[in-house]
């Protein structure tokens, strides 16, 4: 017959009885109101510091996307003009904030129409047509002698930009802006399509 050691009982029993509630109390303990307020304050401060950078990056991304798509459409118009031996142009819609591709339907009157398979392309969110308060024209000085937003850019069958009379012209620029950031797509007299970004002091070719 075995007997329990009284000393062991005296030590183990009080420990077992008191430790379990202590563990349960520790497990149930959460953040105090003061701690929560400190965490919220830190998160608010970090958000206030990071938000402008995130917004600026998003606007820059949208502007670049708009410029790339516009440059791609101009290149498409150039290739179509060369391959189909007919003038093609990109026409801006300043009211709808978009643009469309058109082909010449009558050479004598230089009339244009949108192909049945085409539809107007809208600019990305927060991106609009125009150059705002800028005073320096985009592109090479020889190609862009003055700051002007072209209403349309037309290519003849040789892939050269021409004016409303079908004469070669060097003044070909579309400007886009997004929340204080500026970009442009130009077409040189030789027909080269180029994207430009405004650094704050000058235009840089992309």
* Amino acid 15: pLDDT: 46
Whether pLDDT at 160 is above 50:
yes
- Judge contact between 160 and 206, C-beta under 8 A: no
Mean pLDDT of 96-103: 97
| Tokens (6 digits) for 116 | 């049945």
Q: Is 130 exposed, middle or buried (0-12, 13-18, 19+ CB in 10 A)?
A: middle
The more confident residue out of 176 and 54 is: 176
- Judge contact between 181 and 198, C-beta under 8 A: yes
Render pLDDT for 101-139 as a digit per residue (tens, 0 to 9): 999 999 999 999 999 999 999 999 999 999 999 999 999
Q: Please report which helix (H) or strand (E) contains residue 103, including its range.
A: strand 98-106
DSSP string, 146-172: S----SEEEE-TTS-EE-TTS-B-S--
Render pLDDT for 28-46 as a digit per residue (tens, 0 to 9): 566 777 767 777 767 766 5
Whether pLDDT at 11 is above 50:
no
The more confident residue out of 152 and 11 is: 152
Query: Distance between CA atoms of 101 and 104, rounded to whole angstroms?
Result: 10
Question: If DSSP codes are grouped into helix, strand and coil, which group holds residue 94?
Answer: coil
Write down the mean pLDDT value for the chain. Answer: 85
Whether pLDDT at 26 is above 80:
no
Whether pLDDT at 21 is above 60:
no
* Architecture, CATH, for domain 38-205: 3-Layer(bab) Sandwich (3.55)
Mean pLDDT of 91-97: 96
Residue 168's CB is within 10 A of a number of other CB atoms, namely 13
| Tokens (6 digits) for 102 | 């058109």
CA dihedral for 108, 114, 120, 121, sign (positive or negative): negative
* Amino acid 51: pLDDT: 52
Domain ranges within the chain, ordered by starting residue: 38-205
In the chain, the percentage of residues whose pLDDT exceeds 90 is 66
Question: Measuring CA to CA, which residue among 161, 144, 159, 120 is closest to residue 196?
Answer: 144
Q: Which residues is 203 bridged to in the sheet?
A: 198
């Amino acid at each position: 017959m075995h007997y329990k050691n009284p000393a062991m009982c005296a030590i183990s029993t009080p420990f077992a009885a008191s430790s379990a509630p202590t563990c349960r109390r520790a497990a149930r303990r959460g953040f105090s109101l003061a701690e929560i307020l400190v965490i919220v304050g830190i998160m608010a401060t970090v958000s206030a510091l990071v938000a402008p950078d995130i917004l600026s990056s998003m606007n820059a991304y949208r502007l670049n996307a708009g410029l790339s798509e516009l440059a791609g459409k101009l290149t498409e118009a150039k290739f179509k003009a060369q391959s189909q031996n007919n003038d093609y142009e990109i026409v801006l819609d300043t009211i709808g904030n978009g643009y469309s591709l058109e082909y010449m339907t009558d050479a004598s009157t230089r009339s244009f129409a949108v192909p049945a398979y085409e539809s107007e392309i809208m600019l990305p969110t927060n991106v609009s047509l125009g150059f705002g308060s800028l005073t320096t024209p985009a592109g090479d000085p020889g190609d862009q002698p003055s700051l002007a937003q072209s209403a349309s850019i037309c290519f003849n069958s040789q892939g050269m930009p021409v004016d409303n009379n079908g004469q070669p012209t060097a003044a070909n620029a579309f400007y886009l802006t997004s929340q204080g950031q500026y970009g442009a797509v130009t077409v040189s007299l030789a027909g080269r399509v180029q994207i430009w970004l405004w650094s704050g002091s000058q235009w840089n070719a992309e």
